[in-house]
Structure 1
Amino acid sequence: MDRKLKVLVSGTGFAGQGHADAFRAVGAEVVGIVGRTESVVIKVAEKMSIPYAGTDWQKALEDCKPDVVSIATPGGAHYGPIKQAIEFGCHVYSDKPLTDTGESALELYELAKNKNVKTAFASSFRYMPHIIQAKRLIADGAIGEPTEVESISHFNLERDIPYGWSHRKEDGGGRLNNNFTHMMSIVTSVIGEKILSIIGEVRDDLGKAPIVDGVHNFKTRRNFIPKDLNDPSLKWGESNVEWSYTVLAKLESPIAKKPVSVLFKHGGLNPRFNEDHIVFYGTKGAIYIKGHYGMGPLYLWHENKTWQEQPLPQDIADDQPKVYGDTERNWHYLAREFVKDIQGETVAPYQSFKDGSLYQQVIDLIRKNDNWTDIRHLQ
């Protein structure tokens, strides 16, 4: 392809601006940006030197005629714009979750497949350098056959973060949509992409949050926590999503004879006592990565019966986009692969709407909370 790909972005907050930067970094032209509030979208477009700003998505598609659209709004606002973009013939890069229900996510996957457009699903923390390192080590036999994985995280989020999309299932909120999607992507990238079975339990241990005006950027929402939470004039919104989850999964691995067991344990509101971590266990050793998204460092347990820190291979470091921030760097990584694929270059497999729709169907199953066996009659 001789000309630059034209990209239209949906969303003006942290993700929208991050997606725009990611596509520009890989040589695409960001021709427009769309948001809900005219004054905000105009301000962001001016700041980022984006030539087109609007609030009407269909009109923006017609005016900008993009090759690619980037969906960077909360998950509950994805369905309509993605469907319109696919009908328009655009390739689609979407942040997670794909939509707010498995049914609508599956519909978009099928529609994209039928329209023969390419899609990218940005559960992109699988591109963390130490996750890539773990994948290489395990593929090379460093821990023998993988047997189980443990993913533990506690975020200690402030309970009084202003009420917004993250508190509402219909808007794509909840810790499954916004944490589990990344964690499942990380583990499948290392162990194998095929999920055989799943069981889980979720809990809403928040209940409510204060309603505050003026919150626009997800990254700065903590700055809007009311100083007086006992103010009688303060209004409150009810949460209807999970803030903690426990999920067990079995994955098929091309390098293991038996299914690999995985434990995902996440407490969004719970304080951590020690490091969040991801551990890959095998028949001959184990890999421990500090940090909830595999931030590192990485330690290997092998025949010496000790944990030894492993340096990051230089080629993995060199292949990482030179961008500050884990989230932003991972967006850049996926955007690079996506653009190369659209331009006809050979790239490694990346996650698409096939994965996004599967994850959303899995989340629907977990949220049913119907896996319990009543044993009161045994006592």
Structure 2
Amino acid sequence: MTNRKKVLVFGTGFAGQGHTKAFRDAGAEVVGIVGRNPNVVKEVAKKLDIPYFGSDWAKALEQCQPDIVSIATPGGAHVEPITQAINAGCHVFCDKPLSESGNSATTLYQLALEKRVKTAFASSFCYMPHIIQAKQMVAKGLIGEPLEVECISHFNLDKHIPFGWSHRIENGGGRLNNNFTHLVSIVTSVIGENILSFHGEVRNDMPKAPVVQGVHNFMERRNFIPKDLNDPSLEWKDCDVEWSYTVLMQLESRTPAKQPVSVLFKHGGLVPRFNEDHIVFHGSKGSIYIKGNYGGGPLYLLDQEGDKQWKEVALPEEINQLLPNIEDDTQRSWTHLAIQLVKDVSCESVEPYQTFKEGSEYQEIIDIIRNGNK
């Protein structure tokens, strides 16, 4: 018990509570939690049985002396607490996006390298079971030479969700920060990490949003949509982020291929879907189709050299054994990544996992796409 790694969590909402469970399941000891609202952080600490709570991050770092910190606040609030934690010698687990800009994200990555601390970047849906299955199938050559990938999703979010961090660039909002990061991690995990080129376009379909008090948990924001949107006393604030995007990318294939692999990312945050969201990997000999915006499944394989019929492929039991026995996709993915970081910090052997290297790279890519460059 004395060798358990101590973790301090920053953030009391959906992600903060999820990170707490993840690190406990990873065998670490969550010694404290910090939040901006003293009343809320006290309530959450009591609910989760966390001994230390407060609203002063620097003080918490000093008093808790954690081995690892978990950053679960919106992306616009990441730079200062991560910088303080790294300078204190802490390893860092951070949810996406790493920060609000490519420059600040790269600064965090370089600081972590300088201070020799380990980092984990939680664009963690690359650990979805069927994504791991697809990676194994591509590596075995079941679709031949990888040719192209398409990621199609439409979320049909309500256009009147209350104003919050997700509506502003400086706060880490936007669909590129909070959807695209997951999809890039998924595609690169299956095809290969070397991004050769990219360009894209974005669209803001929600120029203003109503201001409502009381929204604490991001996942419950729909419950706070005003009943009377025409109320003259209702305050509205400007939104400057994208709610839809289209990105084209070229990747170098990990599996031998004669040419770069073409990738299409098409996401509509506010528009309805007609058919299933999906991810497809096409190759010279076949294709893999996975239902769901993040590859939730089931998975189908088409053999171009066989009967040319889509056939569902069961998930191998070895993948179920590899991942934590948790039903919720988000929680299972957080927990799996937390396990990797805790093991790595404890000098145990682990498979490669995403770090601030990917977090800073993705943020630089997002900046370029938003600026309309290639």
TM range (shorter): over 0.9
Question: CA offset at residue 319 of structure 1?
Answer: 1.9
Amino acid at match of 2:266: K
What secondary structure is seen at the aligned counterpart in 2 of 1:196?
A: strand
User: Within the alignment, does 1:263 sit opposite 2:259 as a pair?
Assistant: no
Question: CA offset at residue 158 of structure 1?
Answer: 0.5
Partner of 2:184: 184
How do residues 108-119 of structure 1 correspond to structure 2 at under 5 angstroms? 108-119=108-119
| Structure 2 CA distance for aligned equivalents of residues 276 and 156 of structure 1 | 12
Partner of 1:275: 276
User: Within the alignment, does 1:214 sit opposite 2:214 as a pair?
Assistant: yes
Amino acid at match of 1:269: L
| Structure 2 CA distance for aligned equivalents of residues 231 and 314 of structure 1 | 55
The farther-off stretch of 242-251 and 324-333 is 324-333
- Please list the CA deviations of residues 25-65 of structure 1 after superposition, one character each: whole Å capped at 9, or x if unmatched: 11100000000000000000000000000100000000000
1:331 corresponds to which of 325, 334, 337: 334
2:313 corresponds to which of 286, 310, 314: 310
The question of whether the paired residues in 1 share the 8 Å contact of 2:138 and 2:144 is answered with yes
How do residues 153-164 of structure 1 correspond to structure 2 at under 5 angstroms? 153-164=153-164
| Structure 2 CA distance for aligned equivalents of residues 275 and 25 of structure 1 | 33
User: Within the alignment, does 1:368 sit opposite 2:368 as a pair?
Assistant: no
How do residues 163-174 of structure 1 correspond to structure 2 at under 5 angstroms? 163-174=163-174
Question: CA offset at residue 370 of structure 1?
Answer: 4.3
Partner of 1:240: 240
The ranges of structure 1 where at least 4 consecutive aligned residues each deviate by more than 2 angstroms after the TM superposition are none
| Structure 1 CA distance for aligned equivalents of residues 258 and 70 of structure 2 | 40
Amino acid at match of 2:300: Y
Amino acid at match of 2:279: I
Partner of 1:69: 69
The farther-off stretch of 319-328 and 357-366 is 319-328
| Structure 2 CA distance for aligned equivalents of residues 323 and 139 of structure 1 | 26
| Structure 2 CA distance for aligned equivalents of residues 318 and 276 of structure 1 | 27
Partner of 2:356: 353
| Structure 2 CA distance for aligned equivalents of residues 324 and 88 of structure 1 | 35
Question: CA offset at residue 279 of structure 1?
Answer: 0.2
Amino acid at match of 2:95: D
| Structure 2 CA distance for aligned equivalents of residues 183 and 370 of structure 1 | 20
Structure 1: segments with no counterpart, 5+ residues? 372-379
| Structure 1 CA distance for aligned equivalents of residues 254 and 12 of structure 2 | 41
How do residues 51-70 of structure 1 correspond to structure 2 at under 5 angstroms? 51-70=51-70
Question: CA offset at residue 267 of structure 1?
Answer: 0.3
RMSD: 0.9
| Structure 1 CA distance for aligned equivalents of residues 322 and 254 of structure 2 | 25
Partner of 1:319: 322
What secondary structure is seen at the aligned counterpart in 2 of 1:84?
A: helix
Partner of 2:21: 21
What secondary structure is seen at the aligned counterpart in 2 of 1:93?
A: strand
| Structure 1 CA distance for aligned equivalents of residues 179 and 299 of structure 2 | 21
Question: CA offset at residue 344 of structure 1?
Answer: 1.0
| Structure 2 CA distance for aligned equivalents of residues 319 and 227 of structure 1 | 46
What secondary structure is seen at the aligned counterpart in 2 of 1:261?
A: strand
Q: Which TM-score applies when normalising by structure 2? A: 0.98
The question of whether the paired residues in 1 share the 8 Å contact of 2:199 and 2:373 is answered with no
Instruction: Work out the number of aligned pairs and report it.
Output: 371
Partner of 2:103: 103
Amino acid at match of 2:59: K
Partner of 1:146: 146
Partner of 1:293: 294
- Please list the CA deviations of residues 280-308 of structure 1 after superposition, one character each: whole Å capped at 9, or x if unmatched: 00000000000000000000000210000
Structure 2: segments with no counterpart, 5+ residues? none
What secondary structure is seen at the aligned counterpart in 1 of 2:297?
A: coil
What secondary structure is seen at the aligned counterpart in 1 of 2:134?
A: helix
| Structure 2 CA distance for aligned equivalents of residues 81 and 325 of structure 1 | 28
